[in-house]
Amino acid sequence: MRCGLVPALCLLSLLLVACSSSAPADTDDQTAESDASSNDGDHLLIPDDDAATGNPLFDKGPYGVAIGDTAANFTVPTDTGDWDLEEHWDGKDHQVLLFYRSANNYAKQMFQSRLVMLLMNSPKNVHYFFIAGGVGEAVAEMLDPVRAEAESALDIIDDPGHWRPRLHFVTKGASEIGGWLSEWYAAGGGFILGVDRAQKIRGAGLPLNWLTQEGDFEMAGYEPAYWEFDLKRAEALGAEADPIVLTGIDGQEFESETITFEVEFPAAAAMADHTGLAVDLEQVCASQAACEWDRIMHLYICGPDDGDTCGTEVARWITAYGMGGRWVTDITPLLPLFASGGKLKFRLYVWGYQAKNYLSFRLTKGGDPAPVGWKKLFVGNPRFDENYNTQYEPVAFELPTGAQKAAIVAFITGHGNGSEQANCAEFCPFESVFVVNGTPFEKDHPDAATNDGCLLQVGDGVVPNQYGSWPFGRAGWCPGLNVSPWVAEVTDALVSGENTVAFEGYLDGTDYVPVVTDAGGYRAEINSSSYLVWWE
């Protein structure tokens, strides 16, 4: 999807365009200076000199310096005395270390930005450390303006007493403090480093404010917000009672934009005992360039006669700009598509995104009853224009005897931008409407064309600080996020015997007639797959 322009931000037209399934768009040339803190580097084990004593809550290792390794202790001198990680450790707080690197424009801009928005928007369970890249007197020269800015911010916010002891100004330069922090600083160009509340080392993306096009302290706060989401997800998955995890892809990269694979599910009788199904996808990028653009990615289940063409969608994602990610998507409403069990074939498809993929399915028991039957409704990616509502014929159906409840399940995302006055369909809040026996069920897209629609979803899993215009709201999706199935119960609209359902699209309640500004550009389209499912 070439991501288009938020109308109020036209001056950023070369910077706000994302990508399409057919061609990349422009991006910020300066992202070549990207934060290298996500570079794992060489694995190095660090012994714990205090393994038999110390804080019992502090993990005793083994330690490393790579992203994802358990973090060793560190002690840094600050304005209020030495601050020791293990001494303060309680397993509840994240640590974010912000390094001033004079050779990195984004780092310099960040250290010149305001702190108040960071403190207002950050999770509360964070300690921030400000560390200069210089030595001697240069340390104070770099940090004194930030100290002053911090005092100004504390005068503005409602909870200065909470934040004052959580802002730490390190009085020695990054190369002088010693230990593994100095080694990390010397090894690369990163300027944000984290230790999450699970004591794991975290990297970061590019803390660029896409409205000002400058590095910004505020953006750094979205990193611990994502870590908190990630850890809560891990805790929820760990609390599942005896899930069945079925591996589909184990580290494979795309070949010709497609990975076809098979998974052995339990037999049909055993599948009927399961009430939950999720698909777990993790992607790892070898480089920023390998995963440069946001792409629409589909997972299809193959019917018995499909071969490798597989046209029935069961999951959808939008990849992150220049980064990987992990997404666990609840697709329980589509369990009937898996009901036959046994060996099932799938096709994972994306255009031009060369990540290493790890995909598995999670079957669980004990939840609410799952649906037992399904019918495909409307599938396509037609142009959204004045002819859109003539392209899908209504579907007639009768529910089987014994059906007690029914719902529509759909994946709907809008794409196309910069070619029409309304900037549809990625950045216009169109309405998708299913009409069941005359009763409408509407999926709206209020985040489309907002400046922060995706930024505000970091706590729901959007990968933060991507290397593209990730914060802006889209119609039904965000870069670096799974597309959750939309579910609308339609039981009360059904009648005995034959029912009909139609699918329509509108902008502001009327047929959309585009005012075309670039006939050869990426015109509006709506990508949809929908199903009727029912319960007995």
pLDDT mean over 408-429: 97
pLDDT band at 404 (very low <50, low <70, confident <90, very high): very high
Let me know whether 248 and 386 are in one domain.
yes
Inter-residue contact 441 to 504 (CB < 8 Å): no
Instruction: Specify the amino acid at residue 54.
Output: G
Work out the number of other CB atoms within 10 angstroms of the CB of residue 83: 18
Let me know whether 265 and 365 are in one domain.
yes
**Does residue 93 have a pLDDT over 80?**
yes
User: For position 134, what pLDDT does the model report?
Assistant: 87
Let me know whether 248 and 229 are in one domain.
no
Whole-angstrom Cα distance, residue 87 to residue 83? 8
Single out the residue in 182, 202, 233 at which a domain terminates: 233
The answer to the question of residue 1 being in a domain is: no
Let me know whether 202 and 252 are in one domain.
no
pLDDT mean over 186-202: 93
Single out the residue in 182, 206, 233 at which a domain terminates: 233
Let me know whether 257 and 358 are in one domain.
yes
Whole-angstrom Cα distance, residue 26 to residue 12? 11
What is the edge-to-edge ordering of all strands in the sheet holding 276-285? 244-253, 355-364, 276-285, 325-330
The answer to the question of residue 449 being in a domain is: yes
Let me know whether 292 and 322 are in one domain.
yes
**Does residue 176 have a pLDDT over 70?**
yes
User: For position 391, what pLDDT does the model report?
Assistant: 94
pLDDT mean over 67-82: 96
The answer to the question of residue 359 being in a domain is: yes
Inter-residue contact 406 to 399 (CB < 8 Å): yes
Using a 10 angstrom Cβ sphere, with 0-12 exposed, 13-18 middle and 19 or more buried, the burial of residue 139 is buried
Nearest CA to 462 out of 355, 320, 357, 360 is that of 320
Let me know whether 208 and 353 are in one domain.
no
| DSSP secondary structure code for residue 255 in this structure | B
The answer to the question of residue 498 being in a domain is: yes
The answer to the question of residue 338 being in a domain is: yes
Would you call 398 helix, strand, or coil by DSSP? coil
Tens-place pLDDT, residues 519-531 = 999 999 999 999 9
The answer to the question of residue 269 being in a domain is: yes
Comparison of pLDDT for 444 and 36, the residue scoring more: 444
**Percentage of the chain lying above the pLDDT 90 cut:** 85
Whole-angstrom Cα distance, residue 173 to residue 132? 5
**Does residue 105 have a pLDDT over 90?**
yes
The total number of structural domains in the chain stands at 2
pTM, whole model, 2 decimals?
Answer: 0.89
Let me know whether 494 and 511 are in one domain.
yes
**Percentage of the chain lying above the pLDDT 70 cut:** 89
pLDDT mean over 166-182: 96
Enclosing domain of residue 173: 35-233
Count CA atoms within 13 Å of residue 459 on its CB side. 7
The answer to the question of residue 24 being in a domain is: no
Let me know whether 334 and 214 are in one domain.
no
**Does residue 172 have a pLDDT over 60?**
yes
For residue 348, give the CATH number of its domain. 2.60.120.230
For residue 146, give the CATH number of its domain. 3.40.30.10
Tens-place pLDDT, residues 5-33 = 333 333 333 333 333 333 333 333 333 33
**Does residue 149 have a pLDDT over 50?**
yes
Tens-place pLDDT, residues 283-339 = 999 999 999 999 999 999 998 777 667 889 999 999 999 999 999 999 999 999 999
| Mean pLDDT of the chain, nearest integer | 90
The answer to the question of residue 266 being in a domain is: yes
Let me know whether 393 and 431 are in one domain.
yes
Let me know whether 164 and 256 are in one domain.
no
Let me know whether 303 and 452 are in one domain.
yes
pLDDT mean over 463-489: 98
User: For position 303, what pLDDT does the model report?
Assistant: 83
Single out the residue in 233, 262, 290 at which a domain terminates: 233
Tens-place pLDDT, residues 228-241 = 999 999 999 999 99
pLDDT band at 130 (very low <50, low <70, confident <90, very high): very high
Parallel, antiparallel, or unpaired for β 126-131 and 167-169? parallel
Whole-angstrom Cα distance, residue 161 to residue 158? 9
Inter-residue contact 452 to 210 (CB < 8 Å): no
